[in-house]
Amino acid sequence: MNHHHHWRYAPAPQNAWLLLDTLSTPGLAEQFKRRFDDSYVGDELFAHTQLHPLRDQGPLLIRMAPGSPLSQAFPQESEDWPGLIIVCAAPKQQLLAHLRRMLTVRFSEHLISVLTYYNVQTASYFFDGMDALELSLWMGPMESLTWYGGPWGDKVDDSQGRQFVINPKLNVPVLTVEPTLSLRQQNKLQQCLLERHAYQWNDAAGNHYRETLRHVHEGLGLGFNISAVLDEWLALRAMHPSNSVPSVLYGDTQRARLETLAHYWQGRRS
């Protein structure tokens, strides 16, 4: 993936679309309508999928006609309108069908999940974990993808920039319904979730992001993988940043083991 902190070209090219991530910011769809008037009627990404009941809250695919106010708003307003800029010469219905197939993915035979690839942080991990064959498969009819963002660490450092992916267009089959993620893609998405957890916790607690991320990995290594317990571990670890963890933690549940640790550390302090 190419990382450019400055946009190389200003106007949107021919056949450009904005996949607006309306879920990222409350009220974004209304702000968009106020800024660009009602002539931009987008297609609801979630319509005719398993997420159909949420279609009016989900992302919108909006055409960026050359010379239109929307195409002229980029790149200056790219931070205001988060999502992916897609260049695709294929008919809109073909593009929509592909984007909808990308929504529901398999992690294994038994685990199916929603892939939020339209989110600029998720995209920064997901497309980064692909070789040329995988890019050709997942990009399908799309020629290129551009977005303004980066991994969660870049958001912390305020060093987000323009991300750019080009379809290598190798000879691959059409993406199937409920495609299975490769192990590398799964690892990238797992990294995204862990770093998001650290970012959100760090944002709320005002702690140092890199240290919080280390604590997230430490907590997972101790078996605290339930979100609420992991948060309690992070709070406990922040209070005792230099204490060592005993080699055995007793308890039948994650919370019981965490309480054992809390007693152990508090006992050492008194």
Beta bridge partners of 3: 163
Give residue 103's pLDDT: 92
Query: Which of the four pLDDT bands, split at 50, 70 and 90, describes residue 226?
Result: confident
**Closest by alpha carbon to 167, among 190, 134, 196?**
134
Q: How far apart are alpha carbons 40 and 57 in whole angstroms? A: 16
Give residue 270's pLDDT: 41
- Higher-pLDDT residue of 200 and 92 is 92
Task: Answer yes or no: is pLDDT of 7 > 70.
Answer: no
Alpha helices, DSSP H, located in 158-226:
183-205, 209-221
- Higher-pLDDT residue of 85 and 9 is 85
Task: Answer yes or no: is pLDDT of 189 > 70.
Answer: yes
Task: Answer yes or no: is pLDDT of 83 > 90.
Answer: yes
- Higher-pLDDT residue of 109 and 39 is 109
Q: Could you tell me the pTM of the whole model? A: 0.76
First to last CA, the chain: 52
Name the average pLDDT for the chain: 85
- Higher-pLDDT residue of 93 and 24 is 93
Which of the residue ranges 65-79, 213-227, 243-257 would you say has the lowest mean pLDDT? 213-227
Residues 57-71 have a mean pLDDT of 90
